[in-house]
Amino acid sequence: MNRWIREWSVVGVLALLLAYLAWRAPAFFQLQPLLSLLAREAPSLVVACGVAMVIIVRQIDISVGSQFSVCSVIAGLLAAAGWPLAAVVPVAVLIGGSLGLVNGLLVAWLGLPSIVVTLATLVALRQCLNLVRQGEFVNLPERIQWLGLSQSQGQWLLVGGAVGLVAVLAWGLRHLAAGRWLYAVGSDAEAARLAGIRPRAVTLGTFVLMGALTGIAAMMNVVQSPQVQPLTGSGLELKAIAAAVVGGVAISGGRGTVWGVLAGLLLLACISPAMVHLHIDAYWEKAIQGLIILAAVMVEGLRRRRNHAR
C-alpha cells in the first residue's frame, strides 16, 4: 500500500472531486454524457500511457500531437478512398511506429536530446500537414463511425479497449523483462548497461511503441466522428505529459505506473466538464489544471528530498 501511495493519492483527489460533484451537480452522473466523456478521453489515455513509458526511460516526446494528426489524416484519407477498416488500422499503427522510429533513431543512436528532436518533429510534421491539407477536413464514409456498431456499443468498446490496453501495459511493465528494462535504463543507464541491458535499444523500442500507441489512439479518435480536422491532436502532448506527471510518473525517469496515468488523466479530464456543471467561469480552468500539476511536481520533489536525506 505504502509503495503505491502516490497513485492512491490521485485516486483520492479524484474521489473527492466526484463526491463534491455528486453533492452539488448530480447531473454530472448521467450515463450517456459520462460515457461520451470517457470515450472521448480514451485516445488521450492511450497516448498518455505511451508518453509515461518514454518518461520512465528518462526521455520525453513532445511530438505526439503531430504524430496523432498525421496518423488521423492519413487513416482518414485511406478510409475515404474506400479502404476497409481492417486495413486502415494496421497502416495507422505502422505509420505511428515509423514516426516513433525516426524519433527513436535520432535520440538513441545519434544521442541527441529528445526534447530537441521531438520539438523538431512536432513542428515539421505539423507544417507538412498544413501544407498538404490547408486545414481542410477529411470526410469519412459512414461505415467507419463506431466501427460499424451502434453508438453506445462503439463507445463501450473504445473505453473497454483503452482500459484493456492499460492493463496489458501495466502487466508488461511489471512482469516482462523488457518492461523492467525501462525502469532500469531510466534510473541509471550506465548501471543498466553494466547489467547487460542495452539502453539504446530500450530507448529506441520505447519510442517505436510510443508511435504505435499514437497510431492506435488516432484510430480510436477517428472512429468517433465523421470528419477529421487536420489540427486534431494539437496540444495533446501537454495533456499527456500532464496526465503522466499527475499520475505519479517521475519526470526524472525510472518511476511510475500506467495505472497512475489512468488516474491522473481521469482527474484532469474531469476538471473541464466539472467546471461547466458547477457554473464556474472557464477562465479558472487552466489555472486549476496548472495547480494540480504543480502540486504533483511538488510532491515528487519532496519525495526525492526525503529519499536523499535517508
Partner 1 sequence: MTRSFVVSCLLLSLASSLGWSAPDSKLLVALLPKSKGNAYFISCKAGSERAARDLGVELLFEGPVDSNAAKQNEIVENWITLGVDVIAVAAENREGISTALRKARREGIKVVTFDADAMPDARSFFVNQATPQGIGEALMDEAARLCGGEGEFAIICATLTAGNQREWQREIERRRQERHPGMKLVAVRPCDDLKDRAQSEATALMSAHPKLRLIMAICSPAVPGAAEAVKQAGKKGAVRVIGLGLPNENRRYVKEGVTDTVILWKTEDLGYLTVQAAVALAKGELKAGASTFKAGSLGEFRIEGDNILLGKPFLFNRDNIDQFDF
Query: Considering beta carbons, is residue 28 or 181 the nearer one to partner 1?
Result: 28
Query: Considering beta carbons, is residue 27 or 177 the nearer one to partner 1?
Result: 27
25 φψ region: left (φ > 0), alpha (ψ -120 to 50), beta (else): beta
Q: Which spans in 25-113 are helix H?
A: 31-56, 64-80, 85-104
Q: Is 187 in the site for partner 1 (CB under 8 A)?
A: no
x/- track of binding to partner 1 for residues 75-114 (CB under 8 A): ----------------------------------------
Shortest CB 135 distance to partner 1, Å:
7
Indicate the burial class of 185 (C-beta count within 10 angstroms; 0-12, 13-18, 19 or more).
buried
- Is the CA virtual torsion 269, 101, 171, 162 positive or negative? positive
- φ and ψ at 139, to 5 degrees? -90, 130
Query: Considering beta carbons, is residue 130 or 153 the nearer one to partner 1?
Result: 130
Query: Considering beta carbons, is residue 72 or 103 the nearer one to partner 1?
Result: 72
Shortest CB 180 distance to partner 1, Å:
36
| Degrees, nearest 5: CA angle 301-247-197 | 80
Q: Which of 75, 74, 47 is nearest to 62 (CA)?
A: 47
Query: Considering beta carbons, is residue 110 or 131 the nearer one to partner 1?
Result: 131
Interface residue with partner 1, options 188, 201, 234, 303 (CB under 8 A): 234
**Which position has the grid cell 486549476?**
288
Site residues for partner 1 per CB under 8 A = 25, 27-28, 30, 32-33, 36-37, 40, 127, 130-131, 134-137, 139, 151, 221, 225-227, 229, 231-232, 234-235, 272-273, 276-277, 279, 282-283
